[in-house]
Amino acid sequence: MAARFIQKILNQLGLIAARDAPAATATPAVSQVNATPAASRSYSSGTKKVTLIPGDGIGPEISAAVQKIFTAANVPIEWEAVDVTPVRVSVVIPPSGIISSTCHFKSKLSAIGFEAHGRLTTGGNYGRLGRLANIMRMSDGLFLRCVRDMAQKFPEIQFEEKYLDTVCLNMVQNPGKYDVLVMPNLYGDILSDMCAGLVGGLGLTPSGNMGLNGALFESVHGTAPDIAGKDLANPTALLLSAVMMLRHMELNTYADKIERAAFETIKEGKYLTGDLGGRAKCSEFTNEICAKL
């Protein structure tokens, strides 16, 4: 069943870095985002086009690192770089509209979020719902009703409801008991950050967002403006997100090769960035992965 849903996803793929911080100039070593194909070769009909949104902060340099690694691995990717400049808008909500606006926004977000996730979880055997409907009765209550209605449409999926605090406890003690977790955006953000801390930090954590009209893969960390442009950023999260993208595109051989090179570099410990306890620069870490390819 999962295969049928994946087949519906179009080939329009995006690779996004972090956002929401002032832009900075990256170091020449790995910071030049290349809008041309990843390697100087003739592209066959099997070449895939990927939209790359470097973002700001450390985004350009870690994006360039991923491109360099893809070139070393001869991945049949053609990059389409898109510059997205953040737009900041100040919105003042009158006191009389704060409560109603907030509830309406959360309710719409919860309903839309479940529709998107519900379509993807049908490939699993066990779906669990994380929520706090006993406390957040307006927003989570709506979310819970939507989930229950959707679960009835897929009786072949085992459905179970859990409170978020219980889910967090179980994820720390025995994460293997979970298959698919469905929850509103806020709780997902909290849980994903907690899980990232268990495996080494946000600098190692990839993510992917898949829908019927495309797929978006991104690192979940911030833009780290304090180290932007200093060649100190860890590109692993974005690189592993790109590996997820390759598997989504059924380029598994390239994905396995890049992932193996990255894991070997981290395991050896000679070229680790500061967040992993090392002193290596982003460019040195990147070059070591390229050397293994």
Q: What is the mean pLDDT of residues 137-142?
A: 73
Mean pLDDT over residues 82-87, rounded?
Answer: 74
pLDDT of residue 93: 57
Average pLDDT of the chain to the nearest whole number: 75
Give pLDDT, residue 44: 42
Q: What pLDDT is attached to residue 285? A: 98
CA 108 to CA 86: how far, in whole Å?
Answer: 24
Model pLDDT for residues 146-167, shown as the tens digit of each residue: 889 999 999 998 888 888 888 9
Phi, psi (rounded to 5 degrees) for 240: -70, -30
pLDDT digits (tens, 9 = 90+) for 167-224: 999 999 998 888 888 888 888 888 989 999 988 899 999 999 888 888 999 998 889 9
**pLDDT greater than 70 at residue 7:** no
Q: d(Cα 58, Cα 274) in Å, to the nearest integer?
A: 14
- pLDDT, one tens digit per residue, over 46-75 is 888 899 999 889 999 999 999 999 999 999
pTM tops 0.75, yes or no: no
**Average pLDDT value for residue range 233-256:** 95
Q: How many domains does the chain have?
A: 1
Strand spans (E) along the chain = 13-16, 48-53, 77-81, 126-131, 158-163, 180-182, 206-210, 215-219
What pLDDT score does 278 carry? 95
Q: What is the pLDDT of residue 34?
A: 58
Mean pLDDT computed over 259-279: 96
Residue ranges making up the domain that contains 60: 2-88+96-292
User: If you search the block for the tokens 């720390």, which residue do you land on?
Assistant: 172
Does residue 281 register a pLDDT over 90?
yes
CATH of the domain at 243: 3.40.718.10
